Structure 1
Amino acid sequence: MISRKSLLGVAAFCAAWLISPQGVVAQQRGGVLSVATVGEPPTLDPMASTADLVGIVTQHIFETLYTFDKTWHVTPLLAESLPEVSADGKAYSIKLRQGVKFHSGETMTSADVVASLKRWSDVASRGKQAAARIDKIEAAGANTVRISLKAPYAPLLALLAFNNSAAVVMPAGKQAVPLGDPIGTGPYRLKERKADQYIQLVRFDGYQSRTGDANGYGGARKQYLDEIRFVPVPDPNTRIEAAVAGQHGFVDALPVEAYDRLKNQKASEPVLVKPFGYPVFVLNTRQGSTSSADVRRAIRTALNMEDLLAAAFGSKEFYALDGAIYPKGHAWHTMAGVEGAYNIGDPEKAKALLKKAGYDGKPIRILTSRQYEFHYKMAQVASEYLKLAGFAIDLQVVDWATLTQRRSNPALWDIYITHSPFLPEPALIGALSENAPGWWATPARKSTVDAFVGEIDHQKRGALWAEVQKTIYAETPFIKIGDFNSLAAQSRKLGGVAAAPWPYFWNAYLKN
Structure 2
Amino acid sequence: MIRTLTGRTGRITTLSLAAFLGSTALALAAGKIDVAIIGEPPTLDPMMSTADVVSIVTQHVYETLYTFDENWDVAPLLAESLPFISEDGKTYKIPLREGITFHDGSAMDSADVVAALKRWTTVAARGKSVAGMIDSIEAEGPSVVVIKLNKPYSPLLSLLAFSNSAAIVVPQEILGEKLSATVGTGPYKLIEHAPDRYIQLGKFDGFKSRSEPSSGSAGARAQTLDEIRFVPVPDANTRVEGLISGQFAFADSLPTEAFGRLSESASVEPVLLRPFGWPLFAFNLKKGIGTNLGIRQAVQAALSPDDMLFAAFGDDKYFVVDAALFPEQFPWNNEEGKELYAQANPEKAKEILAKAGYKGEPLRILTSRQYEFHFKMAEVAKMNLEAAGFTVQLDVVEWATLIERRGNPDLWDIYITHSPFLPEPTLTNLYVENSPIGWVSANRDAVYARLTGESDPVARQAAFAELQKLVYEEVPFYKVGGFNAVMGKKKDLSGVTLTPWPFFWNAKLGN
TM-score by length of 1: 0.94
Give the corresponding residue for 1:259.
259
- 3-state SS of paired residue (2:199): strand
2:390 equivalent to 1:391: yes
Q: How does 1:274-313 map to 2 (within 5 A)?
A: 274-313=274-313
Q: Which is further off, 66-75 or 243-252?
A: 243-252
Offset of residue 176 of structure 1:
2.0
Offset of residue 68 of structure 1:
0.4
Instruction: Answer whether contact 2:3 2:499 (CA < 8 A) is retained.
Output: no
1:264-315 CA-to-partner distances (Å, cap 9, x unmatched) read: 2112111110111110111101110001111111111100110000000000
Structure 1 distance, partners of 2:307, 2:139, is 54
Structure 1 distance, partners of 2:233, 2:200, is 15
Q: Which is further off, 355-364 or 115-124?
A: 355-364
Offset of residue 177 of structure 1:
1.5
Give the corresponding residue for 1:322.
322
Offset of residue 180 of structure 1:
2.5
- 3-state SS of paired residue (2:82): coil
- 3-state SS of paired residue (1:502): coil
Structure 2 distance, partners of 1:266, 1:239, is 17
Structure 2 distance, partners of 1:499, 1:60, is 15
- 3-state SS of paired residue (1:393): strand
Q: How does 1:232-243 map to 2 (within 5 A)?
A: 232-243=232-243
Structure 1 distance, partners of 2:100, 2:108, is 6
1:230-277 CA-to-partner distances (Å, cap 9, x unmatched) read: 001111111121222222010000011211111121121111101111
Structure 2 distance, partners of 1:270, 1:175, is 41
Q: How does 1:104-183 map to 2 (within 5 A)?
A: 104-183=104-183
Offset of residue 178 of structure 1:
2.0
Offset of residue 30 of structure 1:
5.4
Structure 2 distance, partners of 1:234, 1:18, is 26
Give the corresponding residue for 1:26.
none
Structure 2 distance, partners of 1:249, 1:169, is 30
Letter in 2 for 1:497: V
Instruction: Answer whether contact 2:324 2:335 (CA < 8 A) is retained.
Output: yes
Offset of residue 122 of structure 1:
0.2
Structure 2 distance, partners of 1:482, 1:355, is 28
Give the corresponding residue for 1:10.
none
Give the corresponding residue for 1:363.
362
Letter in 2 for 1:469: Q
Give the corresponding residue for 1:21.
6
Give the corresponding residue for 1:31.
31
Instruction: Answer whether contact 2:90 2:150 (CA < 8 A) is retained.
Output: yes
Letter in 2 for 1:234: P
Structure 2 distance, partners of 1:42, 1:365, is 23
- 3-state SS of paired residue (2:252): strand
Instruction: Answer whether contact 1:245 1:267 (CA < 8 A) is retained.
Output: no
Deviating 4+ runs (over 4 angstroms): none
Structure 2 distance, partners of 1:18, 1:440, is 34
Offset of residue 31 of structure 1:
1.7
Instruction: Answer whether contact 1:244 1:265 (CA < 8 A) is retained.
Output: yes
Instruction: Answer whether contact 1:223 1:506 (CA < 8 A) is retained.
Output: yes
Instruction: Answer whether contact 1:273 1:486 (CA < 8 A) is retained.
Output: yes
Structure 1 distance, partners of 2:127, 2:146, is 16
Structure 2 distance, partners of 1:43, 1:328, is 34
Letter in 1 for 2:253: A
Structure 2 distance, partners of 1:278, 1:179, is 32
2:479 equivalent to 1:480: yes
Structure 2 distance, partners of 1:98, 1:376, is 48
1:402-454 CA-to-partner distances (Å, cap 9, x unmatched) read: 11111111111111111111110001111011111101111111111111111
Structure 2 distance, partners of 1:188, 1:447, is 43
Instruction: Answer whether contact 1:269 1:489 (CA < 8 A) is retained.
Output: yes
- 3-state SS of paired residue (2:230): strand
1:317-356 CA-to-partner distances (Å, cap 9, x unmatched) read: 11111011011242110111222x0000111111111111
Q: How does 1:420-499 map to 2 (within 5 A)?
A: 420-499=419-498
1:113-146 CA-to-partner distances (Å, cap 9, x unmatched) read: 0001000000000000010111111111100000
Offset of residue 498 of structure 1:
2.2
Structure 2 distance, partners of 1:322, 1:46, is 31
1:169-199 CA-to-partner distances (Å, cap 9, x unmatched) read: 0101111222221111000011111111000
2:225 equivalent to 1:225: yes
1:485-511 CA-to-partner distances (Å, cap 9, x unmatched) read: 001101112111122110000111111
Structure 1 distance, partners of 2:86, 2:452, is 17
Instruction: Answer whether contact 1:272 1:499 (CA < 8 A) is retained.
Output: no
Structure 2 distance, partners of 1:94, 1:475, is 39
Instruction: Answer whether contact 1:69 1:217 (CA < 8 A) is retained.
Output: yes
- 3-state SS of paired residue (1:178): coil
Give the corresponding residue for 2:20.
none
Letter in 2 for 1:134: I
Cα root mean square deviation, aligned = 1.2
Structure 1 distance, partners of 2:484, 2:5, is 18
Offset of residue 362 of structure 1:
1.4
Letter in 1 for 2:221: R
2:26 equivalent to 1:41: no
Letter in 1 for 2:410: A
1:441-496 CA-to-partner distances (Å, cap 9, x unmatched) read: 11111111111111111111111111111111111111101110001101112111
Structure 1 distance, partners of 2:476, 2:205, is 46
Structure 1 distance, partners of 2:353, 2:179, is 44
Structure 2 distance, partners of 1:204, 1:368, is 38
- 3-state SS of paired residue (1:317): coil
2:333 equivalent to 1:348: no
Give the corresponding residue for 2:247.
247
Give the corresponding residue for 2:189.
189
- 3-state SS of paired residue (1:218): coil
Offset of residue 106 of structure 1:
0.7
Give the corresponding residue for 2:19.
none
Percent of aligned positions that are identical: 53
Structure 2 distance, partners of 1:30, 1:39, is 25
Give the corresponding residue for 1:378.
377
Instruction: Answer whether contact 2:30 2:510 (CA < 8 A) is retained.
Output: no
Instruction: Answer whether contact 1:367 1:415 (CA < 8 A) is retained.
Output: yes
Q: Which is further off, 321-330 or 199-208?
A: 321-330
Letter in 2 for 1:401: A
Letter in 1 for 2:6: P
**Structure 1 gaps, min length 5:** 1-13, 23-28
